[in-house]
């Protein structure tokens, strides 16, 4: 039976889903709201912006794996509802077969051998920053580690001077909705500056390739197909923002979580084989990308709720990753040994994060290095979280590392 566009009385969860666009929710603790949505209205309607919110793991996964029914080309953010582009702003805004082509062309830059070869430089960047941490002295994780570290790695990927990372930081912040309180003129100017730099770099690498990831992507031409300069720059924007923001907030949020749970840090100290599973659990726990949007291409039904063709659907990964129907009764507990752990922090299906292996490497290296140096980590002040509905950002993360 085809789905029909429901009338107002048939649209569940409006009051709860209204809060999903409130920035103050994300500056605080959104998880009680997610729990209510999963329990009372797992497919809930936001009347203000006109989208359905999916908060349970099965539906979020189902929508992510089925681009024929839930497309990305009509926007991946709530503020993009109703927007049309002459060309996609990022690879994430495409669907197969266009998306399949992009994945095929950029995959050489992220194949396992490339990531393995990065481990030494990743360890060098992490070690240099962590060597500067004074035991017993409070510090803010952001300037000390979680901001510079992934940006320095990205500079390596792009083959540019690592000292440029502060500018890359500004560019990345200017792209994320709600990440900063800068005036619109400054944000716009930074976005233009970023685009001009990346387009220029892409063209330079196309003309004179080097031994770096951007050159590998720029020169990849399976079956004679090759990214254009503009397509390459489009991907570089995605690499800069996604590769920086997600790892940064994984590290900040994850280390804050461990500081609040000394028993879990002690488990890692006692059994270092748990580090890989701890990275997966910190990804689940922090879920750096809170949500992305899809749009129904045809009438369908999710958990008994009709969804009409053309209606946007918000995939709330952060809620899906605390679904006790999937993760069990301890879904709201950090467990560094959790196994299995089918989290959706990297998305699912065709849009599974290209940089997942790199993010896992970065997380593992940082944990390994910190565990080598310090016996404990503890809170050292008030945490400040960003009021962004897209990225689970942390603006201030005070902790103190100690040595027994």
Please provide the average confidence, as pLDDT, over all residues in the chain: 92
pLDDT at 10: 59
Q: Which CATH number does the domain housing residue 205 bear?
A: 1.10.630.10
Kindly list the distances between the CA atom of residue 59 and the CA atoms of 54, 264, 311, 341, in Å, as whole numbers in the listed order: 6, 31, 15, 17
Q: What total number of domains does the chain contain?
A: 1
Name residues whose C-beta falls within 8 Å of residue 158's C-beta, 6 or more positions apart in sequence: 201, 212, 213, 214, 236, 239, 240
Give the number of other CB atoms < 10 A from CB of residue 25.
Answer: 16
In terms of pTM, does the model score above 0.85?
Answer: yes
pLDDT at 1: 43
Closest CA to 355 of 215, 246, 223: 246
In order along the chain (404 residues), what is the average pLDDT of each group of 10 residues? Answer: 49 95 95 98 97 98 97 95 87 93 83 87 96 97 96 86 88 79 91 87 86 80 82 81 87 98 98 98 97 97 97 98 98 98 95 92 98 98 94 95 94
Domain that residue 241 falls in: 8-402
pLDDT at 200: 85
Q: Are 275 and 213 in contact (CB under 8 A)?
A: no
Question: Could you tell me if residue 2 is inside a domain?
Answer: no
Find the Cα–Cα–Cα–Cα dihedral 202, 205, 211, 213, rounded to 10°.
20
pLDDT at 178: 66
Question: Could you tell me if residue 3 is inside a domain?
Answer: no
pLDDT at 2: 46
Q: Are 367 and 278 in contact (CB under 8 A)?
A: yes
Question: Could you tell me if residue 1 is inside a domain?
Answer: no
255-269 tens-digit pLDDT: 999 999 999 999 999
Alpha carbon distance 125, 97 (integer Å): 38
Question: Could you tell me if residue 94 is inside a domain?
Answer: yes
Question: Could you tell me if residue 147 is inside a domain?
Answer: yes
Question: Could you tell me if residue 145 is inside a domain?
Answer: yes
User: Can you tell me whether residue 298 is helix, strand or coil?
Assistant: coil
76-97 tens-digit pLDDT: 999 999 888 888 888 999 999 9
């Amino acid at each position: 039976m085809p789905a029909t566009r429901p009338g107002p009385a048939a649209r569940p969860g409006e009051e709860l889903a209204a809060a999903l666009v409130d920035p103050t929710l994300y500056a605080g603790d959104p998880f009680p709201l997610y729990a209510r949505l999963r329990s009372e209205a797992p497919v809930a309607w936001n009347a203000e912006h006109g989208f359905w919110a999916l908060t349970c793991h099965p539906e979020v996964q189902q929508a992510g794996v089925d681009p024929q029914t839930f497309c990305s080309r009509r926007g991946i953010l709530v503020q993009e509802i109703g927007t049309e582009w002459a060309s996609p702003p990022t690879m994430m805004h495409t669907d197969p077969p266009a998306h399949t082509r992009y994945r095929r062309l950029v995959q050489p830059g992220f194949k396992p051998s490339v990531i393995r070869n990065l481990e030494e430089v990743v360890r060098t960047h992490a070690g240099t920053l962590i060597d500067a941490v004074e035991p017993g002295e409070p510090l803010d994780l952001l300037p000390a580690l979680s901001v510079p570290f992934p940006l320095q790695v990205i500079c390596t990927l792009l083959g540019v001077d690592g000292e440029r990372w502060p500018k890359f930081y500004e560019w990345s912040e200017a792209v994320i909705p709600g990440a900063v309180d800068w005036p619109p003129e400054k944000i716009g100017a930074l976005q233009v500056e970023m685009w001009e730099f990346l387009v220029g770099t892409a063209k330079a690498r196309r003309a004179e390739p080097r031994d770096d990831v951007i050159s590998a992507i720029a020169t990849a031409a399976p079956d004679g197909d090759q990214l254009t300069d503009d397509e390459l720059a489009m991907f570089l924007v995605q690499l800069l923002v996604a590769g920086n923001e997600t790892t940064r907030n994984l590290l900040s949020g994850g280390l804050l979580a461990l500081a609040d749970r000394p028993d879990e840090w002690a488990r890692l100290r006692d059994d270092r084989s748990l580090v890989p599973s701890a990275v997966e659990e910190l990804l689940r726990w922090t879920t750096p990308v809170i949500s992305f949007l899809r749009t129904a291409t045809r009438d369908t039904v999710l958990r008994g709720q009709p969804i009409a063709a053309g209606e946007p659907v918000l995939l709330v990964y952060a809620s899906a990753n605390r679904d006790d129907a999937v993760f069990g009764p301890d879904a709201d507990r950090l467990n560094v040994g959790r196994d299995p752990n089918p989290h959706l922090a990297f998305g699912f299906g065709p849009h599974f994060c290209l940089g997942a292996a790199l993010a896992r490497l970065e997380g593992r290296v940082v944990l390994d290095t910190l565990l080598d140096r310090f016996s404990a980590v503890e809170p050292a002040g008030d945490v400040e979280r960003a009021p962004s509905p897209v990225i689970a950002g942390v603006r201030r993360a005070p902790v103190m590392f100690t040595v027994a």
